[in-house]
């Protein structure tokens, strides 16, 4: 589930940048819902987490057709606004 890992890594990147520490995927995704980064589509991130928890399949995540480049650009733009 390489692509799913890349989707989740956006959550982990933002969480660790803002908090200067690592935590679980669950906590990182919950944090994204708290800070609501503009331009970041949370649906594929939520689905990738659900897939890791065996609540859906990798095909469900892939079927979203998530543009990973756009997701990373949104994450970098969000981080550029952070201290």
Range of the domain at 53: 2-80
Whole-model pTM? 0.88
pLDDT digits (tens, 9 = 90+) for 2-13: 556 888 999 999
Q: Cα(57)–Cα(13) distance, rounded to whole angstroms?
A: 24
**H or E element that contains 15:** helix 2-19
Residue 2 confidence (pLDDT)? 54
Number of domains in the chain: 1
Q: Cα(78)–Cα(80) distance, rounded to whole angstroms?
A: 5
For 2-37, b where at least 16 C-beta lie within 10 A, e where not — what string?
Answer: eebeebbbbbbbbbeeeeeeeeebeebbebbeeeeb
């Amino acid at each position: 589930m390489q692509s799913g890992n890349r989707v989740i890594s956006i959550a982990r990147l933002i969480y660790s940048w803002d908090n200067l520490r690592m935590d679980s995927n669950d906590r990182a995704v919950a944090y994204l819902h708290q800070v609501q980064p503009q331009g970041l589509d949370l649906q594929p991130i939520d689905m990738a987490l659900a897939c890791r928890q065996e609540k859906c399949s990798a095909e469900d995540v892939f079927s979203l057709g998530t543009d990973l480049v756009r997701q990373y650009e949104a994450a970098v733009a969000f981080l550029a606004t952070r201290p």
